[in-house]
Amino acid sequence: MQSITRLLTIAVLFISAGSFLVADEGMWMPQQIPDLAPKLKAMGFTGNPAAFADLTGHPMGAVVSLGGCSASFISPEGLIVTNHHCAVGALQYNSTPQKNLLVDGFLAKTRDEEISNGPGARVYVTQSVKDVTEAITGQIDPKLDDRQRHDLTDRRIKERTAACEAGGLRCRVASFFGGHKYYEIAQLEIQDVRTVYAPAVGIGNFGGETDNWRWPRHTGDWSFFRAYVGKDGKPAPYSKDNVPFKPRQILKIQPAGVKSGDLVFVVGYPGRTQRHQTYEEVKLTTEWTFPRTIKNYQDQIAILEEIGKQDKELQIKAASRLRGLNNTLTNRRGMLEGLVKGGILAQKQKAQKDLETWIAADPARAKQFGDVLPALRALQAEIEKTRERDAVFAQLFSSSTLLTSAQSAYLLSIEKAKANDMDRESSYQQRDWSRIREGQERIQRTLDARLDRVLLRYALGLAAELPADQRIAPLDKAAGLTPGMAKSDAAKAIDSYLDKLYAGTKMADRDYRLALFDKPTSEILATKDSFVELAYALDPMYQAERVADKKRQGADSRLRPRYMQALLQKEGGLVAPDANSTLRVTFGQIKGVDSKDGLYWKPFTTLAGIEQKHTGEGEFDAPARELAAIKAFRGGKKTPFLHPEVGDVPVDFLSSVDTTGGNSGSPTLNGKGELVGLLFDGTFDTIASDFLYDKVRTRSIHVDFRYALWVMSEVDGAGHLLKEMGVLD
């Protein structure tokens, strides 16, 4: 067992057992779970909570990250299960107009048929977590200015990371509680990941965007990968000679599943929550960021859907981006509704006023914390001065793959020229070079100048509308844009500029683009490539923003830990830190919820719902073979995957576990640590719990693994995988 330091030692963070029964809130660090023993016992848990603090033991050693989704090992031969939507990138990478895996699904009958997920695919297995707070923030001279403070902590993080990775691991130093604590996380990085099985879209994404984030749900959101390593058992890039990885721990499948009221755990890597943000930060999100994102994503979706009608190849290339845009769009709508109509913003405002009153009520507290919130407000106000320009500037790069590639090649050449890796920007150190190259190789499968152009055209249109005091001057000069320009004139100028921009580049050519990443700065600029020239023209502004951001981070690192200390002291109790893509444990019960007046959501959906929703077209088009299997079941064909409570094969279920984005694919475990489902969503009406947890109505949606087993057995002919998982003899 790896040595893990307790999260926080200050006395105010410990709470009496009598307060544990309030709710299921909390994305807990594994080492916090033993302190939650009273609550777990009250919920019927009879196991040893300390098992969750052993990252290499069962069940924690079986849970992995895919770098955006969660997953788990379910066989001694490196078989991994995650969500179907977490496999979209891999399916897209391997799809063609003639063989569209995004629609048809995929099943490898043998190991030789398993297909590579492509360059950059990873499986991360957490090995240890170590408290390094003192090494990062200890002994800092208070006389250092904000930029100097940032640079010092940044260098310390790089040094810790480099020392950790000397053992062949992939490491990161993560901030918890706003920089109040820092932990070093060491992970085994598996580089050869292959797709084994994913159901057809009519199962894996049944209901599509109509049902997304909604209940009742009838989606078979699962897929299977396999991790491969070199013959020596060590991580290695893809090779036909590689062999399946042998995990230390695997999860046992429990075909009997769960029933209403059962205790369940979800273990995974939740992305980001904002429960500890200030009121001003949440206000900005509510009044500006989310409304802008919603409008922006609606526009981009319409653009991509229209151009995708031109041919199937464009549809495939745009598919992953479209699904991501749609998913985020629905999410942001739900969050905004919760923040405004649900009253979360008002509750955050009240909570902050209460905090300020609490600080002012005691002279010692006023002295220690009285300046923090005003200073954080000042930082926030500074950010808001140029928010429109900064957002559009960032969107230029996120819109155009060609522009981003040109910028990356240029920036990498500058960082490579530095003699010391510690002096390089953190995303361009030597540890990142192979990843950067892999990313450039991978994008070739989705890169198309037509897609690139329409999205960049949209971003340029936003730039043309910027107010006079927030212009992107180099872009104005290049494209011939001026403040207050008529939309029709701006559109003509933009189209004329884009004609020249795309005519003057070779960035869409894989070999040309990759070659740039091996060249020094002078040779890159000597190409006179139009996208390189644009990236170079925008670089002074990019560098100025980066300098300003580092200064703000330095200032924030002085203030945020004290803000969090005040917040924690006032709240009392054992508090879970905001999610930050590190390994977490959450737990709750299988249970429905009173959704609206007169409407109760039952905790399980069944095959009956698929029959009822099936229309034979669009998002509700279940495969004919599944409908035939349901008909056979209705005709009396026996199945071991029947749920007695509902008298049918269960499809999805609700629980009160606390989850967010990044938890997708997380294993849902029963009280014995056995796999019973996969977490894949929250409910639309409580998505805003990322900002303030709804202790009564928050629910998460899981695919019931009995449905996966039934489909594998009766629909897709995946009996060999059932045997590998130990479900069948």
Q: Please report the pLDDT score of residue 470 as a whole number.
A: 96
Location of structure tokens 């105010």: 12
Which residues participate in catalysis according to the annotation? Answer: 85, 221, 664
pLDDT digits 0-9 by tens, 500-524: 999 999 999 999 999 999 999 999 9
The end-to-end CA distance of the chain, in Å, is 33
Q: Please report the pLDDT score of residue 23 as a whole number.
A: 38
- Count helices and strands (H / E) in the chain: 26, 20
* Mean pLDDT computed over 76-94: 97
pLDDT digits 0-9 by tens, 356-368: 999 999 999 999 9
Q: Please report the pLDDT score of residue 458 as a whole number.
A: 98
CA torsion, points 404, 405, 410, 415, in degrees to nearest 10? 90
- For residue 5, is pLDDT > 60? no
Q: Please report the pLDDT score of residue 324 as a whole number.
A: 93
Instruction: Grade residue 13 by pLDDT with cuts at 50, 70 and 90.
Output: very low
pLDDT digits 0-9 by tens, 403-415: 999 999 999 999 9
pLDDT digits 0-9 by tens, 414-455: 999 999 999 999 999 999 999 999 999 999 999 999 999 999
Q: Could you give the percent of the chain with pLDDT greater than 90?
A: 93
pLDDT digits 0-9 by tens, 249-270: 999 999 999 999 999 999 999 9
Q: Please report the pLDDT score of residue 571 as a whole number.
A: 85
Instruction: Grade residue 579 by pLDDT with cuts at 50, 70 and 90.
Output: very high
* Mean pLDDT computed over 288-292: 97
- For residue 637, is pLDDT > 60? yes
Instruction: Grade residue 20 by pLDDT with cuts at 50, 70 and 90.
Output: very low
Instruction: Grade residue 281 by pLDDT with cuts at 50, 70 and 90.
Output: very high
Q: Please report the pLDDT score of residue 728 as a whole number.
A: 82
* CA atoms of 149 and 551, how far apart (whole Å): 8
Q: Could you give the percent of the chain with pLDDT greater than 70?
A: 97
CA torsion, points 601, 602, 606, 609, in degrees to nearest 10? -30
* Mean pLDDT computed over 583-609: 95
Distant-in-sequence, close-in-space partners of 253: CB < 8 Å, separation ≥ 6: 74, 674, 675, 705, 709, 725, 726, 727
Instruction: Grade residue 9 by pLDDT with cuts at 50, 70 and 90.
Output: very low
pLDDT digits 0-9 by tens, 162-215: 999 987 899 999 999 999 999 999 999 999 999 999 999 999 999 999 999 999
Write down the mean pLDDT value for the chain: 94
98 φ, ψ (degrees, to nearest 5) = -80, -25
pLDDT digits 0-9 by tens, 139-156: 999 999 999 999 999 999
- Out of 72-76, 163-167, 469-473, least confident range: 163-167
3-class secondary structure per residue, 674-711: CEEEEEEEECHHHHHHHCCCCCCCCCEEEEEHHHHHHH
Q: Please report the pLDDT score of residue 574 as a whole number.
A: 86
- For residue 12, is pLDDT > 70? no
* Mean pLDDT computed over 228-249: 96
Q: Please report the pLDDT score of residue 167 as a whole number.
A: 79
